[in-house]
A = this chain, B = another copy of it.
Amino acid sequence: MKKYTDISDITDLDSLIRETILLKMTPFEYHGLGKHKTLVMLFFNASLRTRLSTEKAARNLGMEVMSLNVNEAWQLEFEDGTVMDANTSEHVKEAAQVISQYADIIAVRAFPSLTNKVKDQSEYILKSFEKYATVPIVNMESATAHPLQALADAVTISEFTETKRPKVVLSWAPHPKALPQAVANSFASMMQRMDVDFQITHPEGYELDSNITKDVPIIYNQEEALAEADFVYVKNWSNFNDYGKVLNTDPNWMMTAEKLGKAKFMHCLPVRRNMVVEDAVLDGGQSIVMQQANNRTFAAQIVLKQILENLN
Q: Is the CB of A84 within 8 A of B52?
A: no
CB closest residue in chain B, given A177? B89
| Chain copies in the assembled complex | 3
- 1/0 per residue A260-303: CB within 8 Å of B? 00000000011111110001001100000110011001000000
- The answer to whether the Cβ of A28 comes within 8 Å of any Cβ in the partner chain is yes
A289 to B270, CA, bound (A): 42
A293 to B52, CA, bound (A): 29
- The answer to whether the Cβ of A2 comes within 8 Å of any Cβ in the partner chain is no
Q: Is the CB of A90 within 8 A of B290?
A: no
A240 CB, min distance to chain B CBs, angstroms: 21
CB closest residue in chain B, given A297? B102
Q: Is the CB of B56 within 8 A of A102?
A: yes
A301 CB, min distance to chain B CBs, angstroms: 12
CB contact between A77 and one of B66, B73, B273 (< 8 Å): that residue: B273
Instruction: Give chain B residues whose Cβ lies under 8 Å from the Cβ of A56.
Output: 38, 64, 66, 102
- The answer to whether the Cβ of A311 comes within 8 Å of any Cβ in the partner chain is no
Instruction: Give chain B residues whose Cβ lies under 8 Å from the Cβ of A89.
Output: 270, 272
- The answer to whether the Cβ of A95 comes within 8 Å of any Cβ in the partner chain is yes
- The answer to whether the Cβ of A117 comes within 8 Å of any Cβ in the partner chain is no
Given contacts A102-B52, A273-B82, A274-B81, contact A72 B46 (CB under 8 A): yes
A25 to B293, CA, bound (A): 41
Q: Is the CB of B101 within 8 A of A294?
A: yes
Instruction: Give chain B residues whose Cβ lies under 8 Å from the Cβ of A273.
Output: 77, 82-84, 91
A31 to B64, CA, bound (A): 13
Chain A interfacial positions (CB closer than 8 Å to B): 28, 31, 36, 38, 40, 46-49, 51-53, 55-56, 59-60, 64, 66, 68-70, 72-74, 77, 80-86, 88-91, 93-95, 97-99, 101-103, 176, 269-275, 279, 282-283, 289-290, 293-294, 297
8 example contacts (A-B, Cβ-Cβ < 8 A) are as follows A38-B59, A48-B99, A49-B98, A69-B72, A90-B270, A91-B271, A93-B283, A94-B289
Which 4 residue pairs across A and B have the least CB separation, nearest first? A90-B270, A84-B272, A83-B274, A48-B73
